[in-house]
Amino acid sequence: MPRILITTDYLRPGDEVDQYLRKHGHTTVHAPMTGRRDPEELVAALDGIDGALVANEPLTADVLSRAPLLKAVVRTGVGHDSIDVAAARELGITVSNLPGINAGAVAEYTLGLLLAAARRLVQSATGVAAGGWPRQDGHELRGSTLGLIGYGAAARAVVPLARAFGMRVLCATGVPDSARTDPSVEFTELPELLAASDYVSVHTALTERTRHLLDADAFRRMKPTAVLVNTARGAVVDERALADAVRTGEIAAAALDVVDEEPLPGDSPLRGVEGIVVYPHMAGQTAEARAAAGREGAAELMAALEGRPRFAVNAPTPAGPAAGGIG
């Protein structure tokens, strides 16, 4: 009887996913990830495990090599940079993600961050809680320019919402021309996007080419009134350079749902910088998105264990035009 490890914290014993897997003859083991986990704890949790539904577990080459029964891993989300997919391929382990599973949730959250930044909602509420009554002017989104870095499912879902607010939408992406079909989006190169945008929203995957894509040079290209929003991966942004840019007025503000190290360390350069607001990685966390991720993740894991994964990210595929670039 295959044993399934479940580390995604919102999937619990007895829930719909648990019942589904057990009904199909699997034994489930729950070990929810609620913070940093020591690699040895993860190795122990994977002992005797055939398949895993995981959150942002650090599945390194060493950890994977010490899980001899493991055949398939499914990330209950989109990003899979915490998994060494090349090592998994060498070990015969299929790694899958769930592309687009929370795109709607991330798109709505992105607009929420844009509105919060434009109208200074967090600062205003914090001021009232502290006994004040702050009433500084905010800005309207209407008539401003939004620059999207990446053109995956979440970025595409942002476009109609931004357009409904009357925003001009630019996009820098490595997807082929055949995928750039939305006439309401102006596709451009990253330097031009940074220079023209009032708001820059990050939606690209984390790769070696996109790590610290937004560095000191990138912030110098942006408007001094610009706001950075990141709901993708923290390491796309050079956090020390961002802190310096906001502190010195090179850009106006940043709203970050993701950071390089989560939870945010006490000595992070992002702490204590007026204008930078950090949120606890909640963009895709809606009841609807979680339910869909659980159902689709369980179905993908069963398919992968049967040798027919639908969304494997480490299956051999020809390199496309956007390989390693901005998604």
Q: Which CATH number covers residue 256?
A: 3.40.50.720
Residue 318 lies in a domain: no
- Residue 175: CB atoms within 10 A of its CB come to 19
Cα(66)–Cα(71) distance, rounded to whole angstroms? 12
Number of domains observed in the structure of the chain: 2
**Percent of the chain clearing pLDDT 90 (strictly above):** 93
Q: 8-21 burial, b for 16+ CB within 10 Å, e for fewer?
A: beebeeeeebbebb
Mean pLDDT, the chain, rounded, equals 95
Same domain, 91 and 146: no
> What is the crossing angle of helices 16-23 and 287-305, to 10°?
20
Cα(283)–Cα(271) distance, rounded to whole angstroms? 20
Same domain, 245 and 118: yes
Is 325:174 a contact under the CB 8 Å cutoff?
yes
Is 108:231 a contact under the CB 8 Å cutoff?
no
pLDDT at residue 277 greater than cutoff 60 = yes
Is 230:254 a contact under the CB 8 Å cutoff?
yes
- For residue 97, what pLDDT is reported? 97
Average of pLDDT values for 242-254?
A: 98
First-to-last C-alpha distance (Å) of the chain: 39
pLDDT at residue 323 greater than cutoff 90 = no
- Residue 192: CB atoms within 10 A of its CB come to 14
Is 76:302 a contact under the CB 8 Å cutoff?
no
pLDDT at residue 317 greater than cutoff 50 = no
- For residue 316, what pLDDT is reported? 54
Residue 14 lies in a domain: yes
- For residue 208, what pLDDT is reported? 94
Same domain, 268 and 120: yes
Residue 316 lies in a domain: no
Is 298:18 a contact under the CB 8 Å cutoff?
no
Exposed/middle/buried for residue 215 (C-beta within 10 Å: 0-12, 13-18, 19+): middle
Residue 30 lies in a domain: yes
Same domain, 60 and 135: no
| Sequence-ordered list of residues with C-beta below 8 angstroms from that of 86, at least 6 positions apart, any chain | 314
Q: Assess whether the previous peptide bond of 263 is cis (omega < 30° from 0).
A: yes
- Per residue in 266-275, pLDDT (tens digit) is 999 999 999 9
- Per residue in 112-163, pLDDT (tens digit) is 999 999 999 999 999 999 999 999 999 999 999 999 999 999 999 999 999 9
- For residue 36, what pLDDT is reported? 80
| Residue in the structure block whose two tokens are 């057990």 | 22
Of 6-20, 25-39, 187-201, 220-234, minimum mean pLDDT range: 25-39
Same domain, 83 and 131: no
Domain hosting 268: range is 103-278
Same domain, 233 and 249: yes
Identity at 139, one-letter amino acid code: H
**pLDDT bracket for residue 237 (50, 70, 90):** very high
Residue 145 lies in a domain: yes
Residue 325 lies in a domain: no
- For residue 324, what pLDDT is reported? 52
Same domain, 185 and 250: yes
Rounded to 10 degrees, what is the CA torsion of 315, 321, 325, 327?
Answer: -80
**Percent of the chain clearing pLDDT 70 (strictly above):** 97
Q: What is the DSSP letter of 5?
A: E
**What Cα–Cα distance (Å) separates residue 140 from each residue in 29, 199, 248, 249, 258?**
49, 12, 24, 20, 25
pLDDT at residue 197 greater than cutoff 60 = yes
Cα(83)–Cα(85) distance, rounded to whole angstroms? 6
Residue 7 lies in a domain: yes
Is 265:256 a contact under the CB 8 Å cutoff?
no
**Which residues sit opposite 96 in a β-bridge?**
74, 312
**pLDDT bracket for residue 210 (50, 70, 90):** very high
pLDDT at residue 285 greater than cutoff 50 = yes
Same domain, 69 and 13: yes
Q: Which residue has the higher pLDDT, 232 or 326?
A: 232
Same domain, 97 and 110: no
Same domain, 111 and 170: yes
Same domain, 138 and 202: yes
- For residue 318, what pLDDT is reported? 38
Same domain, 236 and 291: no
Q: 119-147 burial, b for 16+ CB within 10 Å, e for fewer?
A: bbeebbeeeeeeeeeeeeeebebeebbbb
Which of the residues are catalytic? 233, 262, 281
Residue 18 lies in a domain: yes
Q: Is 14 left (phi over 0), alpha (psi -120 to 50) or beta?
A: left
Both tokens of residue 201? Answer: 């929203």
